[in-house]
Structure 1
C-alpha cells in the first residue's frame, strides 16, 4: 500500500505548478532548473520530486492543465451561448479572463510546449485543436459565406494571432485594464470580421 497523501498535497502541487509556470515564462523552459523551482517554493529539491517526477512532468502538467481548462471553457460556451455573435463574443470574453488569470501558463503553452515528449505533445496539441475548432465553428456560424471561400480557418488563426501574443505587451494593472481590453478586442474582432470579404471573382473553395 502506498503512503497516503498529506492533507495539503494538492495545494502544494498547485503552488509548485504556479511557481514553475512563472519561472518558465520568465526564463524559458531550457533556462529554468528544478533547483530554481524548489527555491522559489521554499522547499528542497528532493521534496520537489515528491510532487513532480522531473522538469518534463512539470512542463506537461502546466501545459496540459491550462489547455484542459480552455477545453472546458469552450465546451461550456458551446452549451450555453446562442450561435453566432453571442457565442463568439462569449468565447473571446471568457478566453481573455482565463488568459489574464493564467498569463504565465498561457505563455508556457505558447512558447515551451515544443519541448514536451512526442506523445505528450500530441495530446496537448489535440486539445488545442478542440479550442481552435470551437472558435472556427463560431466564426463559421456567424459568417457562413466565409466557408464557401475557405476563409474560416485563416480568419480563426488571425484571431488567435492577436490574442495568443498579448503577453508580449499587455500588462495587468496597467492603463488598459482587463475590462477595457475585452471591449477593445471584441470591437476589433467583430469589426474586422464584418469587413472580411471573399476573394473578388472567386468561386467557392474547399474549406481548409
Structure 2
C-alpha cells in the first residue's frame, strides 16, 4: 500500500519549484543540476528525489502549473468583467493588469516558460505549447472585442503579439522595487492601447 502524501507535500513542491525556477533563470536549465537545486533548497539530493525523479520532471511540473495559472487568470478576468459589467476595453485592461501582477511574482517561472519549454519531451512540450496557444487565442479574443474596428483577420496576430511584446519580456528589465512598479507599467501599457504614444 502506498504511503499517503503529507498535507504539506504540495507546499513543499511549490517551494522546490520556486527555487528550481531561480536556478534555471540564473544558470540556465542545461547547466543547473539536481545537486544545485537541492543545495539551493537547503536539502539533500536524496530528499529532492523524494519529490521529483529528475530535473526534467521539475521543469514540466513548473511549466504545467504556471500555464494552468495563466489560463486560470483569463477565466478569472472574464468572470470579473461579467460581475463588474465592464466594457470590452475595460475587460482587456483588467486582463493586462492581472497578467502583469502575476509576472511580478512569477518572473523566474516566466523565464522558464519562454526559454526552457524546448527541453521537455515531445508530449509534455506539446501540452505546454498548446496552453500557450490558448493564452494567445484568449488575448486575441479580448483585443478583437475591445477594438472591433481596428482588428482584422490580417492584423489580429500582429496586434496580439505586439501586446505580448510589451508585457512578456518585463522579466528582462522590470524589477520589483525599481523606479517603476508593475502596476505603473500596466497603466502605461493601457495608455498606449488607448491613446498610442502620442496621446
Q: RMSD of aligned C-alpha atoms?
A: 1.8
Instruction: Give, in whole Å, the separation in 1 of the partners of 2:165 and 2:35.
Output: 34
Counterpart secondary structure, 2:50 = coil
Task: Give per-residue Cα distances to partners, 1:123-156, cap 9 Å, x unaligned.
Answer: 1111111111111011111222344352111100
1:165 aligns with 2:179: no
Tell me the CA shift for residue 7 of structure 1.
3.4
TM-score computed with the length of structure 1 as normaliser: 0.88
1:8, CA displacement in angstroms?
A: 2.3
3-state SS, counterpart of residue 53 of structure 1: coil
2:179 counterpart of 1:184: no
Cα distance in 2 between the residues matched to 1:108 and 1:146: 33
**Who wins on radius of gyration, i.e. which is larger?**
1
Aligned structure 1 segments of 4 or more residues deviating by more than 4 angstroms = none
Q: In the aligned structure 2, how far is the partner of 1:159 from the partner of 1:194?
A: 17
**Structure 1 runs not aligned, ≥5 long:** 196-208
| Corresponding residue for residue 119 of structure 1 | 123
Name the SS for the 2:175 alignment partner.
coil
**1:133 correspondence with 2:137:** yes
Following the alignment from structure 1 to structure 2, what is the Cα–Cα distance between the partners of residues 192 and 154? Answer: 16
Once the two structures are superposed, the pairs formed by residues 28-47 of structure 1 within 5 Å of their partners are 28-47=28-47
Matched residue, 1:63:
63
Structure 1 residues 98-113: aligned runs within 5 Å:
98-113=102-117
Q: CA deviation at 1:94?
A: 0.2
Give the alignment partner of residue 153 of structure 1, picking from 154, 157, 181.
157
Q: Distance in 1 between matches of 2:27 and 2:78?
A: 36
Deviations 1:72-107 (A, max 9, x none): 010121233135201110110000000001111011
